Structure 1
Amino acid sequence: MSRLIAFAKRLPWSIAFVILLNLTANLVFPATSWADSSNLGINNSHLTACPTSPNCVVSQNADSKHAIDPISYHVDRDTAKATLLKVLTVVPRTEVVENTDNYIHALSKSRIFKFTDDVEFYFPPNESVIHIRSASRVGDSDLGVNRRRMEQIRLAMQDLNI
């Protein structure tokens, strides 16, 4: 009986803690979603521009805070694409969900909260570059995760002499 009384005394504090944690999470990671089918893919030979939030990078038509260089390659396009697909298999918590002739879309999940980021790659015809875009689906700041992920993928491609 004394355990039940002790539990009952702690219960209001536990509930208050859960409510506070939920409110804090909603402030830090608001439930706004940038990713739907109209915000992904290739449109007029370009990846979609980033939203105004800082949790996105793109290599095409971006302002200075969202800009990132495309990945250059010096082999044929099919080899570059096959190599990129191999690299993506070792990127933690990342899964390719779409793979067409000139486009790859992968989902990458954060380790702790399992937030999903959309990671896109576009192989334009007659160019030896891979245009890239990585964007968080929710929240505002990603603490630079999307940029670091893309730079790590770039380094992996360079290490493979692509």
Structure 2
Amino acid sequence: MSRHFWSIIIVGLLSFFLTNSVAYGTELIENNGLREGHLLPCPSGVSCVVSDSQESKSYIAPIPYHTDSNHAREILLKVLTVVPRTKVVQTTDNYIRAESTGKIFGGIDELEFYFPPNQPLIQLRSASRNSQFDLGLNRRRLEQIRLALRELNI
């Protein structure tokens, strides 16, 4: 097959992925927040990790802390300010939601952090708004946040 043929195929595929990822990947999906004191389980069809469900392949361990919850929350908020392309969009006394925008395709991942009462840990959830194939980015991002918090001795 000619070089021209492969060029057209590659450009077509890139155009498809870029337009679909940006158009579909930035739509707000009401698939976040707390329900009955727990983060939502991972939905089917998107890349997701969550610490509230150990039975799933999408399980990620919660982050323990050794200080009071208000101090741990303040430190987490500071850490989130340095996570690339991430902005905090909602905070309460025991919940933080942030959005991370993808570097290449512009899709958005929802990051959630829940401080359950009387438990010195942070429950975690990170879910892509549209993609099944994040190559482990949701898990890696939360693990980097875990390491940063550990380095800051929370």
Which TM class, normalised by the smaller chain length? 0.7 to 0.9
- Structure 2 residue corresponding to 1:43, chosen from 35, 42, 66: 35
Name 2:133's counterpart in structure 1. 141
The two structures have a TM-score, normalised by structure 1, of: 0.81
Name 1:22's counterpart in structure 2. 15
Deviations 1:14-70 (A, max 9, x none): 987654433455799994889522x11000111010023461000002533100000
Aligned length: 149
Structure 2 residue 146 is matched with structure 1 residue 154: yes
- Structure 2 residue corresponding to 1:72, chosen from 50, 64, 67: 64
- Structure 2 residue corresponding to 1:103, chosen from 68, 83, 95: 95
Task: State the percentage of identical aligned residues.
Answer: 52
1:22 alignment partner AA: S
Structure 2 residue 82 is matched with structure 1 residue 90: yes
Name 2:50's counterpart in structure 1. 58
Structure showing greater radius of gyration is 1
The alpha-carbon distance between structure 1 residues 155 and 20, as it changes in their structure 2 partners (threshold 3 A), is closer
Q: What pairs up with 1:3-18 in 2 under 5 angstroms?
A: 18=11
1:43 alignment partner AA: R
1:138 is displaced (CA, Å) by 1.1
Deviations 1:119-160 (A, max 9, x none): 000011000000000010012111000000000000000000
The two structures have a TM-score, normalised by structure 2, of: 0.84
Distance 2:111 2:50 in 1: 10
Cα-Cα RMSD? 2.8
1:98 alignment partner AA: Q
Distance 1:145 1:86 in 2: 21
